[in-house]
Structure 1
């Protein structure tokens, strides 16, 4: 879905026709910065990373929920094949004991006959065959043996690792936008050379046509001009295809409309200075947080041998169907101590430690590669600066040559072809300068990325 542009955004794009491309060492180009922010908003990889972070936060909440009391309501109905009762001898014993107590209460000797007019209470069933139950249970972990605490810490470090990976992904997206934007500027710069070449060929075509009419040239010369025009047409087609492709890339990355992107006309400039500040790369921070997460996972596995304490409660709402041995309610505190689990926790802890060692090795490797990339980018930047100085000298020479030949032409001391050749050389030298600026920008963005300070483009 195309993102609608605000009025301010449209004005910025209109100004892009007239405002030259600003230096990376100074304030970023507002159009470029806006495109980067649009790409960050649209990025699927960043959205996936954010969802992963949200999942980890849910894991933290689950770990904390271990200490929240769990209350469960239950209900059931059971029908047994028969009532559960005492055996006949036990029932006779209980009836006899009841008669003795009654005779003692009314003052009869224990060996006298029991009065027939006094009713006896039947011996109750141990459990009726129809059982209706309704109860509530309480389970409350009071101490988890530090397992939950270590799980929470491991989850927090995992979340931090994902957040740093998200920031690193933002840098990659910014680099992609900058590269595409610079290529667009370089392609636009090539258009001027194509226009100059086209003008040159038209002049040459007229010259050759007259020369053939006057017998001063052969049709071979005309065929050479036609071949050069076909080659120019091929380059113009390539130019249009490059513009279309770059606009399509920007559209896919930012969701901006192709029509608005076609209005962009960025320009390249050299840089006066660069930043010396260096910050730890987010990739390194992500690996360090992941390392800490595995360390706490190892501690969590070791914590399985620490005794756990929990509170248990139970209450029966229906008392009538309880057996003679069932309590209506109870509450108690218990302890669970995992003394030996077949080395399972030990092996899991050692596995987590090995994982943390892998992260440490990756950190050391990444630090070495980043240090090398900083040196490489610095050397490439210095080379591009030197190349720019050399091309500027070429431009000075081409400009002076063009000025001289043009004066000679005006004084009938040179042919128009000489003027056009000098003009073409000047335009080509100017395009080489644009290529040099492009190389400067590539080296500088690589250096800023390696130093961890590229975020100035979208913050």
Structure 2
């Protein structure tokens, strides 16, 4: 009987103290270090950075729309025949006309032989003229400078600026979501490791008590039902320990994934609760100003408005200056000019009402995005109110759990004293021990849920980077399994 009492006292001491000194090997990791690592190495942050860089390049490309277009063109062609005029068919009529004139008496006879001598070589000559040889080639350049495109270039540049700001807002949204994810997994691992240690110590205590219970049953000092009850609790404790170890392994892998680094991590920053949360209206006001999702919706509306301007530009004339010249030519006719400059204007008169319908569709898009913006603002306000109320609930729940913890500790003390006096069974003492462990685990769960709700509240308000500051505040109370 004394051995059983000693075993129970040892188990009770282990359950109350919950020493966590025997930690597995691993790398110590503070919350600040974890945030820095995640924001540096997580693939989602790297992808967001690439997205911003792409938007910067698109912005530069839009600026280039204002610049002249300069190009070099080269060509070679072999035509089916030379380009020119063949007047050989005119020889006979010309010869006949000359004979008529010479025979009409209008020309003095003494001059006729001289004139015929002049006409004969002309009539014998080839009366064909080649303007362009069938084989030709050239190398030249052209320049086009937009002067007025109806406002399309300005709209494209403003849209590129908006897309860049949208990429930055998306990066901020990724950053805030990543911090919330990190808080969930960092403190989740801290919680899981403590639960594993507690479950392991409970198993060890119940195992020693089972050994004594078997011995006491053989000596007829306890009934078979009490020994079976201890075996049942032993099986239950082992099952809960196995589940806790699996959960800890899963959360550890999830944390490594969030950090973007492989390793065995030991969280050293304790879960915490703060007494002063602030006013609900302050968080809602911050969200309207800094929430990345709301910023993106606002930017989408601005982008839709630029789409309206771009479609309206199709109704206006487009003017461009142009020029070009040949640097080198091969057998190109001298009749072809070697350079040219000018100004062109294009006015679209009718295109099957395509412009009208696209312009109307762009205006409808602005209205649609405006309604989505209003709804998003309302949804964020409701989300913040929900998370804020959850914080208050977890804080109030912690006060209730502290009362339950005081009762559970006193109840265990009373059951232990009654057991020593022989007025309580061992099963009652084990139940009191497990009840105390359960209350303390519930206390940790409340702190974990509080921190997670706080991280999500700050994410919704657009100030996730301030989460670590909350942990360092003067009114922040670290929450441990074995401390109030």
TM-score tier (shorter): 0.7 to 0.9
Which residue in 2 is equivalent to 1:246? 251
Quick check: 1:270 aligned with 2:265?
A: no
Deviates more, 1:385-394 or 1:187-196: 187-196
* TM-score of the superposed pair, with normalisation by structure 2: 0.75
Shift of 1:142: 2.2
Deviates more, 1:60-69 or 1:331-340: 60-69
Q: Deviations over 1:319-345 (max 9, x none)?
A: 673335421222112212223222222
Secondary structure (helix, strand or coil) at the match of 2:130 reads: coil
* Selected match of 1:329 from 339, 345, 354: 339
Contact 2:31 2:269 in 1 (8 A): no
2: CA distance, partners of 1:441 / 1:458: 11
* Selected match of 1:378 from 383, 388, 392: 388
Quick check: 1:361 aligned with 2:371?
A: yes
Secondary structure (helix, strand or coil) at the match of 1:85 reads: strand
Which residue in 1 is equivalent to 2:227? 222
Contact 2:29 2:267 in 1 (8 A): no
* Selected match of 2:152 from 133, 147, 161: 147
Which residue in 2 is equivalent to 1:5? none
Q: Which has the higher strand share?
A: 2
Contact 2:304 2:365 in 1 (8 A): yes
Structure 1, unmatched stretches of 5+, are 1-16, 19-28, 97-108
2: CA distance, partners of 1:302 / 1:80: 45
Secondary structure (helix, strand or coil) at the match of 1:86 reads: strand
* TM-score of the superposed pair, with normalisation by structure 1: 0.79
2: CA distance, partners of 1:358 / 1:111: 96
Deviates more, 1:433-442 or 1:190-199: 190-199
Mark the CA change 1:327 to 1:275 in structure 2 (over 3 Å): closer, same or farther: same
Quick check: 1:446 aligned with 2:456?
A: yes
Shift of 1:157: 1.0
Shift of 1:306: 1.8
Shift of 1:79: 2.7
Shift of 1:284: 0.5
Equivalenced residues, count: 417
2: CA distance, partners of 1:31 / 1:353: 51
2: CA distance, partners of 1:133 / 1:271: 80
Secondary structure (helix, strand or coil) at the match of 2:146 reads: strand
Mark the CA change 1:374 to 1:134 in structure 2 (over 3 Å): closer, same or farther: closer
2: CA distance, partners of 1:236 / 1:338: 77
Which residue in 1 is equivalent to 2:186? 181
Secondary structure (helix, strand or coil) at the match of 2:70 reads: strand
The Cα RMSD (Å) is 3.5
Q: Deviations over 1:77-118 (max 9, x none)?
A: 32333332224179879x99xxxxxxxxxxxx999728759x
* Selected match of 1:162 from 159, 167, 177: 167
Contact 1:37 1:458 in 2 (8 A): no
Which residue in 2 is equivalent to 1:12? none
Secondary structure (helix, strand or coil) at the match of 2:71 reads: strand
Deviates more, 1:184-193 or 1:299-308: 184-193
Mark the CA change 1:370 to 1:181 in structure 2 (over 3 Å): closer, same or farther: same
Which residue in 2 is equivalent to 1:113? 115
Shift of 1:313: 1.5
2: CA distance, partners of 1:207 / 1:133: 106
Which residue in 2 is equivalent to 1:102? none
Secondary structure (helix, strand or coil) at the match of 1:152 reads: helix
Which residue in 1 is equivalent to 2:57? 58
Deviates more, 1:226-235 or 1:280-289: 226-235
2: CA distance, partners of 1:110 / 1:133: 51
Quick check: 1:294 aligned with 2:312?
A: no
Which residue in 1 is equivalent to 2:403? 393
2: CA distance, partners of 1:136 / 1:316: 6
Shift of 1:168: 1.1
Secondary structure (helix, strand or coil) at the match of 1:317 reads: strand
Shift of 1:416: 8.7
Contact 2:323 2:341 in 1 (8 A): yes
1: CA distance, partners of 2:149 / 2:175: 39
Deviates more, 1:380-389 or 1:136-145: 136-145
Shift of 1:172: 1.4
Q: Deviations over 1:210-268 (max 9, x none)?
A: 43233233444333322321221111111111111111111122232333x1x335532
Quick check: 1:88 aligned with 2:82?
A: no
* Selected match of 2:238 from 227, 233, 246: 233
Deviates more, 1:169-178 or 1:119-128: 119-128
Shift of 1:184: 1.7
Quick check: 1:38 aligned with 2:48?
A: no
Mark the CA change 1:257 to 1:55 in structure 2 (over 3 Å): closer, same or farther: closer
Which residue in 2 is equivalent to 1:11? none
Shift of 1:389: 0.9
